[in-house]
Structure 1
Amino acid sequence: MTSPSGSKTPSDDSPLPARPRLIATDLDGTLLHDDKSVSDRTVKALAAAEEAGIEVFFVTGRPARWMGVVSDHVHGHGMAICANGAAVVDLHADGKLIQDRTLDRAVALDVVRALRDAAPGTSCAVETSTGIHYEPSYPRFEDDPGASLDTAEELLREPGAGAAGAPVLKLLAHHPELTPDGFLALARTVAGDRATITRSSPTALLEISGLGVSKASTLALCCAERGVSSDEVVAFGDMPNDLEMLTWAGTSYAMANAHPDVLAAASGHTATNNEDGVALVIEQILARL
């Protein structure tokens, strides 16, 4: 079946579980439209899923302070896994940090140096539990105009004068010339034994977490606390940082706009984010219950 624009939508034989207990969805490029809005259809679908007893988790690379895009639309689904699994927050409590899985400062600095040696021109930023801190040459985000500037050595120095000693959730590394997938492959070769390295940006911007920390591993911990098995989870995503989550979940959907690796790994495909592909699947799930 195809949508009016020609993209693929879920068909009647889509791999849906008999009775899912949890929906895990990425945000950018997945649940959100390209303008970062959440459609009325999607809001209604999420609410209907919860009314049917299906819990909803937002699982994103975004930090907790950037969750305003969905915080106004939460009903019971106030739980979010942020920073690619490094933080679990409660959106009903103004993004209160419930759990963190931090990146050791010494390990982070070791990764920075390995990337600089392998790819000269690499610049970095440090995402902590209280905000983000940049190296001067790193392309800054408009959402964080008050962030501090310093070298990675200072930002990651114990006790972390530049980053105020707050726990490090994620290291960001940017290269101005390498391709996104090329930079990712190189980084995993030189530092993949020390940290989890992934990407979700269309640019050569890497996201680096503690070894073993990912959307999937943190989602698995949250599900275990709730007595939910992977077979009872339906997951949605579009970029390489979603891959582990999509392969862990019993049922997974790649958006039609997804990265080729994601399209290959997911057990099903749905329409694009701009065509409410997540809502389409949720509506099918509810119709089959």
Structure 2
Amino acid sequence: MTILKERPGLDHRLGASAELVTRRLDELLPEAAGPRGRVIEAMRYSALSGGKRLRPFLVIESARLFGLSEEAALNTAAAVEMIHCYSLIHDDLPAMDDSDLRRGHPTVHVRFDDATAVLAGDGLLTEAFAVLADLKTHGDAAVRCELIAGLAKASGAAGMVGGQMIDLSPERDRLDLTGITNLQELKTGALIAFSCKAGAILAQAGQAERQSLRDYAGKLGLAFQIVDDLLDSESTPEALGKPTGQDQAAGKATFVGQLGVAGARDMASGLVDQARRCLDIFGDRASILSQTATFVLERTR
């Protein structure tokens, strides 16, 4: 993960958040003996292998806006990361992107096998909702239900799964800029949006604050994906820890393909500026989230 030296506050928060989330995932996914231990091992292999941990970080920081502690948001943050890791396992499968490298390590289906990878993804998906349903996540059952419903929508056919289906469809190669934007708002943006909204749900915040975080997350998620397209076009597998150039090789329409490198950078920069303005309602309390938007723009992996 690239941390920008000129933002020491963000540096500390990102590192501390990632460490806390990894420890909680380790606790929530204990090793098991016997034949079923293999799928647990595969789930742990994916969930504990590092990564930016951006989505759980957004859960924790959005909750912090309302005075909640890291501990109060940690189960929700871990559940979001379980969903993200499940999506990566399935996305890497031969039936989808057929990738053999993720976060600098062999993908789950390469390290284990296709069937175990499918089950590991299924296991992380379902375990995430068990975590949200736990009384330790929040004492109010209505809050837990809202978290479950929100994550289900962000993850399912109206969100991430729907976006992945568009990505796999024959029409994918012919998408215009509007179509690509819609695809990425579902595939990438929906889970990022939930991550920001989750902090407000945990804090039982008002509608104005929730809407501001939704607006911020929408701009942030789209900027994140544009930067992903730029890195896929310009970086290397060694630098990114995953294959590059796959979309271009497959003839898929991308932001870079539609706008060019300079145009894509300009669009991402404009979205980040808009994202930061969405936080004005929170004043200085949102300084870390504001810095996070710039981090997303300037990241190198």
| TM norm structure 2 | 0.32
Greater percentage in helix: 2
Higher RCO structure (Cα 8 Å, ≥6 apart)? 1
* Structure with the bigger percentage of strand: 1
